[in-house]
Amino acid sequence: MPLVTSTEMFKKAYNGGYAVGAFNVNNMEIIQGITEACREEKAPVILQVSKGARAYANRTYLVKLVEAAVIECPEIPIVLHLDHGDSFETCKSCIDDGFTSVMIDLSSKPFAENIEGTKKVVEYAHDHGVVVEAELGALAGVEDDVNVSAEASHYTRPEEVEEFVSKTGCDSLAIAIGTSHGAYKFTAAQCTRNEKGELVPPPLRFDILDEVVKRLPGFPIVLHGSSSVPQNYVKMINENGGKMPDAVGIPESQLRKAAESAVCKINIDSDLRLALTGTVRQYFNEHPDHFDPRQYLKPARANIKELVRHKLVDVLGCNGKA
Q: Would you please indicate which residues are annotated as catalytic (active-site) residues?
A: 83
Measured from the CB atom, the residue of 146 and 200 that comes closer to ligand 13P is: 146
**Is 24 among the residues that bind ligand 13P (CB under 6 A)?**
yes
* Residue 244: burial class (beta carbons within 10 Å; 0-12, 13-18, 19+): middle
* Least spacing, CB of residue 281 vs ligand 13P, in Å: 19
DSSP letter for each residue of 47-107:
EEEEHHHHHHHHHHHHHHHHHHHHHH-TTS-EEEEEEEE-SHHHHHHHHHHT-SEEEE--T
**Is 52 among the residues that bind ligand G3H (CB under 6 A)?**
yes
**Is 224 among the residues that bind Zn ion (CB under 5 A)?**
yes
**Is 182 among the residues that bind ligand 13P (CB under 6 A)?**
yes
Q: Which of residues 205-234 bind ligand 13P (CB under 6 A)?
A: 224-227
Measured from the CB atom, the residue of 29 and 135 that comes closer to Zn ion is: 135
Whole-number Å distance between alpha carbons of 143 and 81 = 16
Whole-number Å distance between alpha carbons of 311 and 268 = 9
**Is 138 among the residues that bind ligand G3H (CB under 6 A)?**
no
**Is 143 among the residues that bind ligand G3H (CB under 6 A)?**
yes
* Least spacing, CB of residue 47 vs ligand 13P, in Å: 12
* Least spacing, CB of residue 114 vs ligand G3H, in Å: 18
Scanning 45-53, 167-175, 239-247, 253-261 for contacts with ligand G3H by CB under 6 A, the matching segment is 45-53
* Least spacing, CB of residue 316 vs ligand G3H, in Å: 17
Scanning 65-73, 107-115, 165-173, 264-272 for contacts with ligand 13P by CB under 6 A, the matching segment is 264-272
Q: Cβ distance 205 to 232 under 8 Å? A: no
Q: Which amino acid is at 228?
A: S
Measured from the CB atom, the residue of 234 and 268 that comes closer to ligand 13P is: 268
Residue ranges of alpha helices (H) inside the chain are 7-16, 28-40, 51-72, 88-97, 111-127, 161-168, 206-215, 231-239, 252-259, 270-286, 293-310
Measured from the CB atom, the residue of 226 and 319 that comes closer to ligand G3H is: 226
Whole-number Å distance between alpha carbons of 178 and 304 = 26
Name which of ligand 13P, Zn ion, ligand G3H, none residue 52 binds, using a CB cut-off of 5 to 8 Å depending on partner kind: ligand G3H
Q: Cβ distance 274 to 229 under 8 Å? A: yes
Whole-number Å distance between alpha carbons of 120 and 92 = 10
Q: Cβ distance 107 to 137 under 8 Å? A: yes
Of the residues 29, 36, 41, 83, which one makes contact with ligand 13P according to CB under 6 A = 83
**Is 299 among the residues that bind ligand G3H (CB under 6 A)?**
no
**Is the alpha carbon torsion for 52, 57, 59, 62 positive or negative?**
negative
Scanning 49-57, 149-157, 193-201, 247-255 for contacts with ligand G3H by CB under 6 A, the matching segment is 49-57
Closest CA to 316 of 52, 96, 6, 21: 21
Residues that bind ligand 13P (CB under 6 A): 24, 83-84, 181-182, 224-227, 267-270
Residues that bind Zn ion (CB under 5 A): 224
